[in-house]
A and B are shown apart, each in its own frame.
Chain A
Amino acid sequence: MGYLEIKDMEISFPTPKGKYIAVKDINLSIAKGEIVSIIGHSGCGKSTIMNAIGGMIIPTGGTVFLNDKKIKAPGPDRGIVFQNYSLLPWLTVYQNIFQAVDAVMTCSKFDKHEIVENNLKMVNLYIHKDKLPGQLSGGMKQRVAIARAFAINPSVLLLDEPFGALDALTKGTMHLELLKLWNLDNREKTIIMVTHDIEEAIFLSDRIIVMNDGPSATIREIENVRIPRPRNKLDIVNSPEYRAIRDRLLHLLTDKFSIEDLGIKYKN
């Protein structure tokens, strides 16, 4: 049995028009220290699966086990980075992290402050610790959110489209930052990430879960990424494995590749 085990999970929501099934028949087994991406079109229940692992919602069918224990609520063993950072705008960068650490950890106040400081230094934001989130750029806010999730030292890190709002350059830096943090922690943290970005998924993940379109979304396919680590972005794009995976993912997610596929004749 895997470290994180999802068994026959179904999640539905009551609506005025009746039951809306977001995802169903989800079976997944994730090992400790694995990096897994969930990829798919908008509204295919990617975030729903994340929320179920995070304990933010309870599945209407099936179960999610973490370390052989059934997940019933959010817990300190899982750190969540929300899609829109979810920092509290009236608290400084420092306080945003400290409040989470203070709520979750049981160590002394002194140790808590040290944890916050270390995590801020890790994401290179220590000099900005007294700023409010409104004074930060998108990439910096994202780093605060990641530092906050790391600070509570969870064994599973859940990232919901963590780099979606960032420009391509910042995104690239953040990928390396994330891998750096994962590496510094002896690659013991399991990372589950929702993304729209195929390149990002291949570069970061050990496995990529491709979802079918919702409603009643299911897992379409699971791609293994057997590119050895450490991966170099420049080198891997030319490797045959990378190309093969990218092509397969593109085919799974797209059915039209040119405007001619839309029935439009291209005029030369």
Chain B
Amino acid sequence: MKEISETDELKLVEIKMKVVPKESQREPDDYKKKIFISKLIEKGKSLLFTILGLSLFLLFWSFITSFTKGDLPGPKATLTVLFEMLRDPFYDYGPNDKGIGLQLMVSLTTVLKGFLLGSIVAIPIGILMGASNIYRLLFYPIVQLLKPVSPLAWFPIGLVVFKDTGMATVFIVFITSLWSTLINTAFGVSTIPQDHKNVAKAFGFSKMRYLTKILIPYSLPHIITGLRLSIGVAWLVIVAGEMLSGGTGIGFFVWDSWNALSLEKVMSAILIIGTVGLIFDKIFTIIENKVSYK
């Protein structure tokens, strides 16, 4: 062993003098407070930038408004109408005059129906495609063929099959919800590491145990990502779908307001649609973080 020289010892004393008193003085509560404050600063910073971004957006919007010489309603006019709409969202004066809340409920119900049905179909097929080469070969060409088709092109088919515009709208949401979920699920399942499969093999896991203890836990984060993308697209499609189907829903509301030349309402509806989409995305991001196991 190397002997400690005098200078080394001096250094040691120095280090002790520097470090030890600080360490003993530091209270654990003090430390927690520091972390809390630094987190608060971080939060404040991100809030500041969000506000800055939104202000830039409003500025740009006002610019476009003045550019179109007031044809496009500005932020102030739109927000006034928006608050007007939100003050009584659930009024119902007959089929052509309903509150924005009711319209939104109709759209949400349609989207959730289509999305749920789509997920119920897409997840098992995705699992089959990811787990077995035969199913992958069987389904992959169909997926590739149908995925690029615009969801609206399915509307007539829905009408023919269901003879009902409401059902046809659910149908197009259903079709759109399939692809991202399907592809992400299949990808998740196909990337299960050999290590995990070896555990199942070595300890003779049954199919059911493999499914519930290895396959699903491993691919769940991928599945949720797929669902998040799917519901995003579904919400995108519903507006266009309801413009075609008419009657009710936020998409119909946009079209109806345009026909009534109430652009403030159109702009308000756009803001609402955006907010709802944002909320969907946030919900799924939270779930995504919850189920990731690392």
Residues of A at under 8 Å CB distance from B? 54, 56, 74-76, 80, 82, 84, 86-91, 99-100, 102-104, 132, 134, 148, 152
Q: Enumerate B199-254 residues with CB–CB distance to A below 8 Å.
A: 199, 201-206, 209, 213-214, 217-218
Q: Which of B198, B205, B206, B294 has the most CB atoms of chain A within a 10 A radius of its CB? A: B198
7 contacts between A and B (CB under 8 A): A56-B201, A87-B199, A88-B199, A90-B217, A99-B205, A99-B209, A99-B213
**Min CB gap A85→B, angstroms:** 8
Q: A88-B217, A90-B217 are in contact. Are A152 and B293 (CB under 8 A)?
A: no
Residues of B at under 8 Å CB distance from A? 195-196, 198-199, 201-206, 209, 213-214, 217-218, 293-294
**Min CB gap A178→B, angstroms:** 19
Q: Are A88 and B213 touching (Cβ within 8 A)?
A: yes
Select from chain A the residue with minimum beta-carbon distance to B196: A88
Q: Are B195 and A84 touching (Cβ within 8 A)?
A: yes
B contact face: mostly helix, strand, loop, or mixed = helix
Kindly list 7 other residue pairs between chains A and B, CB separation below 8 angstroms, not including A86-B199, A88-B196. Answer: A56-B198, A82-B199, A84-B195, A88-B213, A100-B199, A103-B204, A134-B294
Q: A82-B195, A90-B293, A134-B294 are in contact. Are A75 and B213 (CB under 8 A)?
A: no
Q: Are B294 and A99 touching (Cβ within 8 A)?
A: no
Q: Which residues of chain A are near B198, meaning CB under 8 Å?
A: 56, 80, 82, 86
A contact face: mostly helix, strand, loop, or mixed = loop
Q: Which of B202, B205, B218 has the most CB atoms of chain A within a 10 A radius of its CB? A: B202
Q: A56-B201, A103-B204, A104-B204 are in contact. Are A88 and B214 (CB under 8 A)?
A: yes
Q: Are A89 and B203 touching (Cβ within 8 A)?
A: no
Q: Which residues of chain A are near B218, meaning CB under 8 Å?
A: 90
Number of A-B contacts (CB under 8 A): 53
Q: Are A54 and B195 touching (Cβ within 8 A)?
A: no
Q: Are A103 and B203 touching (Cβ within 8 A)?
A: yes
How many angstroms from the CA of A132 to the CA of B81 in the assembled complex? Answer: 53
Q: Which residues of chain A are near B203, meaning CB under 8 Å?
A: 74, 99-100, 103-104, 148, 152
Q: A56-B198, A99-B209, A99-B213 are in contact. Are A74 and B293 (CB under 8 A)?
A: no
Q: Which residues of chain A are near B195, meaning CB under 8 Å?
A: 82, 84, 86
How many angstroms from the CA of A88 to the CA of B203 in the assembled complex? Answer: 13
How many angstroms from the CA of A232 to the CA of B199 in the assembled complex? Answer: 34
How many angstroms from the CA of A80 to the CA of B205 in the assembled complex? Answer: 14
Select from chain A the residue with minimum beta-carbon distance to B220: A90
Q: Are A103 and B201 touching (Cβ within 8 A)?
A: no
**Min CB gap A64→B, angstroms:** 16
How many angstroms from the CA of A132 to the CA of B209 in the assembled complex? Answer: 19
**Min CB gap A3→B, angstroms:** 20
Q: Are B204 and A132 touching (Cβ within 8 A)?
A: no
Q: Are B294 and A103 touching (Cβ within 8 A)?
A: no
**Min CB gap A149→B, angstroms:** 9
Q: A86-B195, A89-B293, A132-B293 are in contact. Are A54 and B202 (CB under 8 A)?
A: yes
Q: Which residues of chain B are near A103, meaning CB under 8 Å?
A: 203-206, 209
**Min CB gap B217→A, angstroms:** 4
Q: Are B204 and A76 touching (Cβ within 8 A)?
A: yes
How many angstroms from the CA of A104 to the CA of B172 in the assembled complex? Answer: 47
**Min CB gap B6→A, angstroms:** 31
Q: Which residues of chain A are near B199, meaning CB under 8 Å?
A: 82, 86-88, 100
Q: Which 10 A-B pairs have the closest CB atoms?
A: A90-B293, A90-B217, A100-B203, A86-B195, A80-B202, A74-B202, A103-B203, A86-B199, A103-B205, A89-B293
Q: Which residues of chain B are near A88, meaning CB under 8 Å?
A: 196, 199, 213-214, 217
Q: A103-B206, A134-B294 are in contact. Are A74 and B196 (CB under 8 A)?
A: no
Q: Which residues of chain B are near A54, meaning CB under 8 Å?
A: 202
How many angstroms from the CA of A127 to the CA of B1 in the assembled complex? Answer: 38
Q: Are A56 and B202 touching (Cβ within 8 A)?
A: yes
**Min CB gap A55→B, angstroms:** 8
Q: Which residues of chain B are near A152, meaning CB under 8 Å?
A: 203
Q: Are A74 and B204 touching (Cβ within 8 A)?
A: yes
Q: Which residues of chain B are near A56, meaning CB under 8 Å?
A: 198, 201-202
Q: Are B201 and A74 touching (Cβ within 8 A)?
A: yes
**Min CB gap A131→B, angstroms:** 13
How many angstroms from the CA of A56 to the CA of B293 in the assembled complex? Answer: 27
Q: Which residues of chain B are near A87, meaning CB under 8 Å?
A: 199
Q: Which residues of chain B are near A99, meaning CB under 8 Å?
A: 203, 205, 209, 213
How many angstroms from the CA of A134 to the CA of B213 in the assembled complex? Answer: 17
Q: Are B196 and A86 touching (Cβ within 8 A)?
A: yes
Q: Which residues of chain B are near A100, meaning CB under 8 Å?
A: 199, 203
